[in-house]
């Protein structure tokens, strides 16, 4: 997805409206996804400062190392202000900011630059840019939803392929590498993670695939995703080596019902925390509420985790274009864990589930 200058300038205009509403004079955006969202340019996360100064009055100036300037797409989204190797980019930003009193700085800006800017621009209020940018990025346009859907379909295909693959006798790392290879083969530009948690390791939700050899009867959590054309995928499917014990099958059935109910609850106007509560309440009768130790979901887009977060305390109502995961999980330390995850887009016609891979507990060899 390469948004053109018109799309980028429209995003900047929406940011200015949000800045006016929250009293922010300028946005200062460095590494991370905010910069490409507004300029089409992604800065390398280097020690040289790259910073977009987005002024509420209309200027958008990209302060960029001279040697990186040729990489900035020439699509009229901003004025490029290169700085030479021996000059001071912090003073360039300070000059552009001028008499501003309230500045919002990108959440992933390197601390060394934030501290230098705070020293160079005294007497201003500093806010996190996420408060301004997060709600804008959370609402996806049609092109962004198409990109998320394509990425979702790619990992769906990987999940389907894995159902015919042997797990028993292999290490978690071996299965994880296969997930990565298959994501790349299905069109991803880069993998972001490929969690394989077998047996007791599955009780750690973000377990790093390790040298454990997957054995007979093991429940295996596979949670994987990557970036395709700039947008992220993220899916979790469950596998079991051989026919599952009744307790495993029952627990999985309760989890699958909770996930289904939470997906159906993710309608426009429902609050993020209410969607989380639906999954939690669904697990309670089976005695599984205490085993569900994380929020039900996170937004997804240019970043794998972004606004909106579906968690108790977030009363933000879902809006058309919000894209997020629905991923309840239950974890039993020392024994096993289970999670089931799809990406969903809130739409006026109802929740639009992007993933279509089979959701049953896959019995593998």
Which positions touch Zn ion (CB under 5 A)? 223, 234, 236, 325, 341
Which residues 6+ apart lie within 8 Å of 332 measured at CB? 203, 291
| Least distance between Zn ion and beta carbon 225 (Å) | 6
| Least distance between Zn ion and beta carbon 235 (Å) | 7
Pick the closer one to Zn ion by CB: 77 or 155.
155
| Least distance between Zn ion and beta carbon 329 (Å) | 9
Pick the closer one to Zn ion by CB: 172 or 341.
341
| Least distance between Zn ion and beta carbon 242 (Å) | 25
d(CA 315, CA 319): 12
HEC-encoded secondary structure of 313-326: CCCCECCCCEEEEE
* C-beta neighbour count of 81 within 10 angstroms: 17
d(CA 192, CA 340): 18
Pick the closer one to Zn ion by CB: 83 or 309.
309
Contact criterion met (CB below 8 Å) for 224 and 155 = yes
Whose tokens are 């599952």? That residue is 244
Pick the closer one to Zn ion by CB: 156 or 341.
341
Pick the closer one to Zn ion by CB: 52 or 262.
262
Three-class SS of residue 220? strand
d(CA 103, CA 99): 11
| Least distance between Zn ion and beta carbon 203 (Å) | 14
d(CA 161, CA 182): 9
């Amino acid at each position: 997805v390469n948004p053109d200058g018109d799309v980028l300038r429209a995003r900047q205009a929406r940011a200015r409206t949000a800045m006016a509403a929250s009293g922010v004079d300028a946005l200062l955006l460095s590494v991370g996804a905010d910069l490409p969202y507004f300029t089409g340019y992604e800065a390398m996360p280097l020690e040289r400062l790259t910073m977009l100064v987005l002024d509420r009055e209309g200027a958008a100036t990209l302060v960029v190392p001279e040697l990186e300037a040729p990489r900035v797409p020439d699509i009229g989204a901003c004025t490029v202000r290169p700085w030479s190797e021996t000059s001071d980019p912090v003073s360039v930003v300070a000059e552009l900011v001028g008499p501003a009193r309230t500045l919002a700085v990108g959440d992933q800006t390197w601390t060394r630059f934030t501290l230098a800017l705070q020293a160079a621009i005294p007497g201003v209020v500093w806010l996190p840019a996420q408060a301004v940018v997060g709600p804008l990025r959370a609402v996806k346009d049609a092109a962004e939803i198409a990109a998320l859907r394509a990425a979702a379909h790619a990992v769906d295909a990987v999940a389907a392929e894995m159902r015919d693959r042997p797990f028993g006798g292999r290490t978690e790392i071996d299965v994880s590498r296969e997930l990565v290879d298959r994501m790349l083969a299905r069109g991803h530009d880069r993998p972001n993670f490929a969690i394989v948690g077998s047996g007791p390791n599955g009780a750690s939700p973000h377990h790093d695939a390790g040298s454990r050899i997957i054995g007979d009867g093991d429940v295996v959590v596979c949670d994987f995703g990557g970036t395709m054309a700039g947008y992220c995928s993220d899916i979790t499917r469950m596998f079991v080596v051989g026919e599952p014990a009744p307790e495993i099958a029952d627990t999985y059935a309760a989890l699958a019902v909770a996930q289904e109910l939470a997906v159906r609850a993710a309608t426009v106007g429902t609050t993020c925390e209410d969607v989380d509560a639906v999954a939690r309440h669904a697990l309670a009768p089976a005695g599984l509420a205490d085993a569900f130790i994380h929020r039900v979901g996170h937004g997804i887009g240019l970043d794998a985790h972004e606004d909106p977060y579906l968690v108790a305390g977030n009363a933000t109502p879902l809006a058309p274009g919000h894209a997020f995961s629905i991923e309840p999980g239950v974890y039993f330390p020392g024994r096993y864990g289970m999670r089931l995850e799809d990406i969903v887009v809130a739409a006026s016609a109802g929740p639009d589930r992007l993933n279509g891979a089979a959701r049953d507990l896959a019995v593998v060899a």
